[in-house]
Amino acid sequence: MANLPSTKHPTQCLTRLRPARASPPRSCPSACICTSDLLSCSRQTLQRVPRALPPTATTLDLSHNALSQLQDGWLAALPHLEALHVGHNQIGELSPRAFHNASCLRHLDMSSNRLRAVEKHYFEELVSLEELLLYNNRIARVDENAFAKLSGLRKVYLSWNNLTSFPFHAVQGLGNFSLRTLDLSSNSLSSLPVEELAALPEHVRNGLYLHNNPVRCSCPLYLMLQRWRQRGFSSVRDFFEEHTCKVSDAVPRSLIKLLKYNHLFENCSAEPDPAQPVPFPVTVGRVLLLACNASLPHVAYMWISPHHEPIWPPGNANRSVEVFLNGSLRIASAQPWHSGVYVCLAIDGPRNVSRLCEVNVTVHYSKPDGEAFSTGLTTLLGCIVSLLLVLVYLFVTPCRCPPCCRTAPPSPPQECSAQSSILSATPPTTDGPSRRASKHVAFLEPAREVLDGKERQVPAEGLPDGRHPKVLQLRSDTESISSVFSDTPIVS
């Protein structure tokens, strides 16, 4: 396989150089319309490409003319050309140097011409090409290496042609993984390699349009399209009713809408979705050995790396990556950049490709020897310590609000009676020179007796008279001023 270009666009395509001051500007062809960077020669019944094209043009429109061929090297006068429109002409084939000196071209429209095939040399010099329009031609064959060097190709439109087959394995095995749209609708495809299509990357299947083809009805085809529909692929969702299949080869018009009338395929046993890649962890510097599912006779094996690079036996030049005859892949020293999904393919002939296995390799560094606790154990230990700290805070921390959390002890006999209730903020202390200042409030209720049916107050024995000014008074060594009717004494 030819080496792919290292960059998507050559360096000279990134900077648009203006013509030298010494060279006079070329005049605009009489049959064209010229602007600063646009040259339009559309609908002029031209049979040949005009001469003296202005070199500043980045877009050239030659559509809807009568061009039958493109001369060799005719684009040398347009070094900054990025878009070329030659659709609706009569071009039947292309010479090997038709697109010589067009390395900056990104968009090429050759739709509605008379091309009968897509040969290998047609577009191999368009290394920056991103979009290729070839619909509504007479193409019956596409060379398997036609897009081999177009590493930046994103969209290919081949609908409304005469294709009876297509080299899907070339899209998979040659590294065109930037492809997002491949339109093969409205052709003459009679069969589809379901296994090859299932091995394509998901972004390719999402933009793979196969509707309006006389494909033979089969359970694998129906199950594949149903799976794509469940995954929400645009190729099936946008053209749900246009997916048809042919019931009998002997009756060309026996086409049915297989997704709309799915009751005809009720007997098809649903196959499980493709298994997820097998995880394979490995330590940096260790030998990595991956094996395919089976060893088949007379079969060639190929691996596809996570960077979408094919790995054929015996491996790369320095043998750091090897592929053995039984399909096993060996990497001498695993490194972090070797991480990713590896796909093993068995190839028996140009069109028989089977995917055998997918392995998800994770290359990691070894843990230090002193690491004693795992992450789960450390997390559990942290939760237990946090719970203990909460319990200590709730039950062991001393109370800092004595009036709220201490109960008043019983008053001494000389300050209480059966008819009194004493509320004390601090327990009373004995008189003495070293006693602390204390505050307490005593609420005394005088005794009452009933005489001749009337109730009157009787002073208790050993207590001062109920009308004494010191009753209901705040007693304090500091002669505090009290408020009898407030919940909290006011201290001055």
What per-residue string of b and e applies to 152-176 under the rule 16 or more CB within 10 Å gives b?
bbbbbbbbbbebebbbbbbbbbbbb
pLDDT tens for the 492 residues of the chain, in order: 334 444 444 445 654 444 444 344 567 888 788 888 899 999 989 999 888 788 889 999 999 999 999 988 898 888 899 999 999 999 999 998 899 888 899 999 999 999 999 999 999 999 899 999 999 999 999 998 898 888 888 999 999 999 999 988 777 644 445 788 999 999 999 889 888 888 787 888 899 999 999 999 888 898 899 899 988 899 999 998 899 898 887 787 788 888 888 777 777 765 444 556 778 888 898 888 888 765 566 678 888 888 878 888 888 888 888 888 878 888 989 998 889 888 888 776 655 666 677 888 898 888 665 454 556 677 888 889 888 888 888 877 666 555 555 555 555 544 444 444 444 444 444 444 444 444 444 444 555 555 455 555 555 444 444 444 444 444 444 444 444 444 444 444
Residue where the block lists tokens 């060379």: 143
Cα–Cα distance measured from residue 265 to residue 222, given in angstroms and rounded to the nearest whole number: 8
Phi-psi map region of 321: left, alpha, beta (phi>0 left; psi -120 to 50 alpha):
beta
Q: How is residue 61 written in tokens?
A: 């429109």
What per-residue string of b and e applies to 346-366 under the rule 16 or more CB within 10 Å gives b?
bbeeeeebbbbbbbebebeee
Nearest CA to 115 among 136, 98, 131? 136
Verdict on whether the full-model pTM lies above 0.75:
no
Q: What is the 3-state secondary structure (H, E, C) of 423-437?
A: EECCCCCCCCCCCCC
Q: Residue 247 — φ and ψ, nearest 5°?
A: -75, -40
Sign of CA dihedral 389, 390, 396, 402: positive
Domains, the chain, in order of start with CATH, read 278-364 (2.60.40.10), 403-476 (no CATH)
Give the β-pairing of 117-118 and 141-142. Answer: parallel
Chain length of the chain: 492
Residue where the block lists tokens 């390799």: 361
Which CA distances in Å does 105 have to 110, 202, 233, 441, 454?
Answer: 13, 28, 30, 101, 121
Give the β-pairing of 181-183 and 155-157. Answer: parallel
Cα–Cα distance measured from residue 136 to residue 87, given in angstroms and rounded to the nearest whole number: 10
Nearest CA to 422 among 433, 413, 431, 434? 413
Write out the E strands in 268-326. Answer: 278-283, 288-290, 300-304, 310-311, 321-323
Nearest CA to 120 among 67, 84, 79, 174? 174
